[in-house]
Chain A
C-alpha cells in the first residue's frame, strides 16, 4: 500500500494557495520519499478545475466531488466524502495543509478511520517513514512523533509562505458523485463571511508587520496597516494589544493566538515574551524595532533598529514608498 492523497482545499470555488504550495512542495526533490510515491488529489465542492495544471506540478489524478452541498465546509459531509475517497484510493497517506478547515476535519477522519493523525507537522517531514516533528511548549522544544498505524493522516504547516515553482505534467480530473449519507446529527455551516479579502490572513501572509504594547494606542496601528498594505503583508498583534482591545483576537500571534510562518516578521514595539515568540518560530527573517536595546526580542531577531516606533516607522514607510517607486 502506498501513495499520497492530498486534500486540495477550495474556498469560493478556488483551490487555496496553502494547498497548492503543499502539493508543489511534495513534488520537489527535497521531498525525496514523496517522489517515490504517486500523488493524487481530492477537491471537495464546486470548483473550477480549468487551468489547474498551470498551478499544480507533475502528472496525477484528482478526484473532484463537485456537489453543491460541499461548497461551504460541512464537517459531516466532508468527513464522509474524504473517508470514502481515502479508502477507495488505496493510498497510505492523506495529507492536508494545516488550516482552520483541516484542524477540524483531520481529527474526525482519524477517529472514523482508525488511522493515526500527525498534526501541525513542520516541513520537511518524513511522510514515508510516518514520523513528524513540531514545536511544543511555546516553541522552546521540538517534539518528534511516530505513527503506529499503517495508514496515516498528516496536517502540514506552511513554511515561509512563498509560492513554490511548479513542474510540468498532465493532470486527469475524475468527477465523483456526492458520497455523503446521513447528516442529520451534524452541525451545518450556513454562511461564510469573508473579511478584508485584499489582505492575506496573518497566519498565511508572506510578510507580517506586528505591533506590541510599545505602539501605545489603537490609533498608532494605522501606521502598521499602511506599512503592511504597501508590502502586501498582514498586521499582527501581541497579546497585550489584543487584551487592551486595540486589535481583534484574529490578529493575535503567540501562545493563545496564531502561529505564523512569514518570510519576514517585523516586530514593532514588541518586547518579545516567551508567549509571543511561541507564535513566531516559523518566521524566516525577524527584524525588530524597539526603544529598549536590551528587550528580549533582540535575542531572537536577525536585524534591529533601536528607536521609538513612532519616529522609526514613518521613516520606514517613506523608504518603502521610494523603494516601490523604483521597483
Chain B
C-alpha cells in the first residue's frame, strides 16, 4: 500500500504572534508540525504496519529551509519526504496545486492508494487544502475523519457533523483529512530520530502557473482585553444576563 501524507508547519503554542506593519513578525516564532498532521501521519504509519509492507511518503510545500523540520516528521515513522520549496505567500488552491504536482510527479502514472492530510492548519485554519488536493488528483475524499475501518473494498469512514455523524464508504484511491481523536500519535524514540537522519528528502521543484485566487490584504492584531465586571453572587449574575442584557 502506497500512502502519501501532506504536512505543513505552524507556530507552536509558545510562539509570540506579533504584527508589525501589517505583517507577521517571524522573529519569535517557533515552527512545529501542524498538530492535525500528526494524526494524519500516525494513521498512515499504522496502516502500513498493519499491512506489513508499503510506504509512507510525506509531502510538504514549505520554505527550502524546512528540511530539519521534515527530519522530525520522518522520525514519526514516514519512509521519506518530498519538499516543494515555496518562498512566497500562496493561497490554499496554489498549495493544493503544488502538492498535487509533487504527488503525481513522485508516484508517476499510478496514484497512491491513500492520501492523509490534517483537517486544517492551526495558523490560518482555512480548511481548504485537503479537499482541493483530492479534487485536483481526481480521487474520492472525506473531510474531518474521526473513525476509519478497512473493508474488502476500501474504507468505512465516519466524520462529525453538527449534531451527528456521517458514515461513508470509500473505494481507493482516496484522501482522508483527519480530525483530532482519530488516534493517539506515538512518542518519538531516540532511535527513530537517529534513523530519520538517513531517510531521503527529495526536493521537487514544482511550478505555479497563473495568479492566486485569493490574496492576503493584511493582518491586524485583535485587542481582546475587556474590563471584567465582578458580580457579588449568582442572583446578581442572573439579573444581569436576563434583565440587563436579555440573553436568557
Q: Which positions in A face B, CB cutoff 8 Å?
A: 18, 72-73, 75-76, 99-101, 103-104, 106-108, 110-112, 114-120, 131, 135-149, 185-197, 199-201, 203-204, 207, 231, 242, 249-250, 252, 255-257, 263-264, 274-275, 277, 281, 284-288, 293, 298-306, 312, 315-316, 318-320, 323
Contacts and interface: CB of A to CB of B under 8 A. Distances in A.
A293 B13 CA distance: 24
A303 B222 contact: no
B247 to A, nearest CB: 5
Interface in B205-221: 211-221
B149 to A, nearest CB: 13
Contact of B169 (A103, A188, A249): A188
A118 B139 contact: no
A191 B167 contact: yes
Contact of B165 (A115, A192, A197, A207): A192
A143 B216 contact: yes
B240 A303 contact: yes
26 contacts: A73-B166, A100-B166, A107-B128, A107-B132, A111-B93, A116-B213, A120-B125, A131-B217, A137-B24, A139-B224, A140-B221, A141-B19, A141-B222, A143-B219, A144-B218, A187-B169, A207-B248, A257-B180, A264-B247, A298-B230, A299-B225, A303-B228, A304-B228, A305-B233, A305-B237, A315-B234
B135 A107 contact: yes
Given A143-B216, A144-B216, A304 B36 contact: no
Chain A contact residues: helix, strand, loop or mixed: mixed
Given A137-B11, A256-B122, A148 B214 contact: yes
Nearest to B182: A249
A256 B35 CA distance: 8
B146 interface: yes
B17 interface: yes
B163 A194 contact: yes
B181 interface: yes
Contacts of B35: 256
A299 B228 contact: yes
Contact of A287 (B126, B136, B162, B241): B241
B141 interface: yes
Contacts of B93: 110-111, 116-117
B214 A116 contact: yes
Contacts of A196: 163
A255 B122 contact: yes
Contacts of A318: 234
Contacts of B241: 264, 285, 287, 303
B166 A201 contact: no
B200 interface: no
A301 to B, nearest CB: 5
User: Which of B139, B174, B226 has the most chain A CB within a 10 Å cutoff?
Assistant: B226
A303 B229 contact: yes
B224 A147 contact: no
A309 to B, nearest CB: 12
A304 B233 CA distance: 9
Contacts of A187: 140-142, 157, 168-171, 174
A138 B92 CA distance: 18
Contacts of B143: 100, 103-104
A108 B135 contact: yes
Contacts of A207: 247-248
A104 B162 CA distance: 13
A100 B161 contact: yes
A117 B241 CA distance: 38
Nearest to A18: B162
A277 B229 CA distance: 19
A188 B168 contact: yes
